[in-house]
Structure 1
Amino acid sequence: MKQNKYDDSGFFANYSQMPRSIGGLNAAGEWPVFRSLFPELRDKRVLDLGCGFGWHCRYARQQQARSVVGIDLSENMIVRAREHTDDPAIEYRQLAIEDIDFPAEEFDVVISSLALHYVERFDIICRKVHQYLVPGGSFILSVEHPIFTALAAQDWYYGAQGERLHWPVDDYQSEGLRQARFLDHDVTKYHRTIETHLNALIDSGFRIKRISEPQPSPETIAAHPEMKDESRRPIFLLIAAVKD
């Protein structure tokens, strides 16, 4: 199923008010770690799967990437990305991740930020990306952490006084569709274990270079005390892989 919640006017309005939607990459807590996984981008051909507002596409060009293609299923996302981009070396296409079709060895780097947990067949995307990358090419991706997606509720277990007692994990090994609540809307996500993520990449011919489960820095927590509980469980899983 190809889900396009971002063209729902109410959902998109809520999403547009998120800090990362307003402040860009520097407002995304995982960005410093995600950025550290990138290879050298100078003179590289880059593909961004689920490009959203185009933040990563513009960053790649700031790092002197030769060309960037950003794809997203949402017309709203693509329109916003084009409005904030004045660079002929960046091309945006309205296209579902599931429908990507490029020539073999078309790209040097493929990135995807917080989009692939909306895609049902991660293994198929891994095989396609492997085909589209040159030998030695990099696939850098982030998804919601399986600890976070295992239960559709995606919420803490609270005590009698409303205190956060713990983050519940159940049905972790039961992979598949989850109907989650995000920005006051029902959203379809797909839960996969860490094992499945890594083995799908390995089986497609990738070598795993690094994984990360980033948490807020002490400086971030000091500046934003409301984030102190975010180090009690991971929110994101970041993976850097290479096509040998």
Structure 2
Amino acid sequence: MKQNKYDDPIFFDKYKQMARSVDGLKAAGEWHIFQKLLPSLNNKRVLDLGCGFGWHCQYAVEQGASSVVGIDISEKMLNVAREMTPIEIQYLQMPIEDINFLANSFDVVISSLTFHYIASFSNICAKVYECLAIGGAFVSSVEHPIFTANSNQQWCVDNNDKRLHWPIDNYFDEDIRKTNFLEVEVLKYHRTLTTYINTLIECGFKIISVIEPQPDNELLKTDPLMQDELRRPMMLIISVSK
């Protein structure tokens, strides 16, 4: 199932007002960790799957990448990306499930918060393995399985809206979750931590790092609600090599 909520005008208007849409990578609580897991991008061929507004693509260019390709299903997202980021970046509109690059096409493949929207993680991992050069790096982030397990994806609160705890249910039921994001129903695919790790191993990758990032210290200082993000992991970042 290939979703494209971002080309809906109402949803897109809400999404582009989010902090990470306005301020880019510095507003992404996990970026300080994701950035550290990236290899040197100097003179590297970089592919970004689910590139959105192109923030990671722009970073790759700034770091001296020899070529950068960004893939996204949303025409609206890519229109903004083309306006904001350097002309050296090649943006392609397609579902990331449909990529079909030749072997040894890229040195680094990245993806930020995308794979929980696609039905087959194993298929995309196999395609990334095929197009990645020997020794190449694949760094990706997803919503943490603890976050996706319960389709509600909301804190349990008391009568005063004080956040009590994060509910986890049906963790081992790997299936579609109908969630609410920006007041729109969005389908997400819940997978266990075991599935994410073992799928990468079965596709031939070597695990380098598995990190459950905590928010950046600056965000913790400026946004009081971010303190609650220390109570349960929201994201999972995995770095592997071919």
Alignment of 1:144-223 (within 5 A): 144-223=143-222
What does residue 22 of structure 2 align with? 22
Q: What do residues 172-207 of structure 1 show as CA deviations (whole Å, max 9, x unaligned)?
A: 000011110000100011000010000110000001
Q: Matched residue of 2:26: which SS?
A: helix
What does residue 131 of structure 2 align with? 132
| Gap change, CA 1:81 and 1:152, over 3 Å in 2 | same
Q: Which runs of 5+ in 2 are unaligned?
A: none
Q: Is the contact made by 2:206 and 2:240 (CA closer than 8 Å) also made in structure 1?
A: yes
Q: Is the contact made by 2:32 and 2:216 (CA closer than 8 Å) also made in structure 1?
A: no
What does residue 104 of structure 1 align with? 103
Q: Matched residue of 1:110: which SS?
A: strand
What does residue 74 of structure 2 align with? 74
Q: Which runs of 5+ in 1 are unaligned?
A: none
Q: What do residues 114-169 of structure 1 show as CA deviations (whole Å, max 9, x unaligned)?
A: 11110010000001100100110000000000000001100011123321110000
What does residue 61 of structure 2 align with? 61
Between 1:100-109 and 1:208-217, the stretch displaced more is 208-217
Quote the Cα distance in structure 2 between the aligned partners of 1:51 and 1:213: 21
CA drift of 1:58 comes to: 0.6
Q: Matched residue of 2:65: which SS?
A: coil
Q: TM-score, normalised by structure 1?
A: 0.97
What does residue 226 of structure 1 align with? 225
Quote the Cα distance in structure 2 between the aligned partners of 1:50 and 1:98: 10
Quote the Cα distance in structure 2 between the aligned partners of 1:137 and 1:65: 14
CA drift of 1:87 comes to: 2.6
Percent of residue pairs bearing the same amino acid type:
56
Alignment of 1:85-96 (within 5 A): 85-88=85-88, 90-96=89-95
1:34 correspondence with 2:34: yes
Q: Is the contact made by 2:58 and 2:86 (CA closer than 8 Å) also made in structure 1?
A: no
Residue type of the partner of 2:133? V
Quote the Cα distance in structure 2 between the aligned partners of 1:32 and 1:218: 10
Q: What do residues 9-50 of structure 1 show as CA deviations (whole Å, max 9, x unaligned)?
A: 111000000000000111111111010010110000000000
CA drift of 1:221 comes to: 1.9
Residue type of the partner of 2:46? V
Quote the Cα distance in structure 2 between the aligned partners of 1:70 and 1:10: 24
CA drift of 1:216 comes to: 2.1
What does residue 235 of structure 1 align with? 234
Q: Matched residue of 1:92: which SS?
A: strand
Q: Matched residue of 2:104: which SS?
A: coil
Quote the Cα distance in structure 2 between the aligned partners of 1:223 and 1:13: 24
Q: What do residues 87-127 of structure 1 show as CA deviations (whole Å, max 9, x unaligned)?
A: 32x10000101100100110000000011110010000001
CA drift of 1:225 comes to: 1.6
Residue type of the partner of 2:96? I
Q: Is the contact made by 2:16 and 2:22 (CA closer than 8 Å) also made in structure 1?
A: yes
**Aligned-CA RMSD value:** 0.9
Q: TM-score, normalised by structure 2?
A: 0.98
Quote the Cα distance in structure 2 between the aligned partners of 1:96 and 1:62: 26
Q: Matched residue of 1:47: which SS?
A: strand
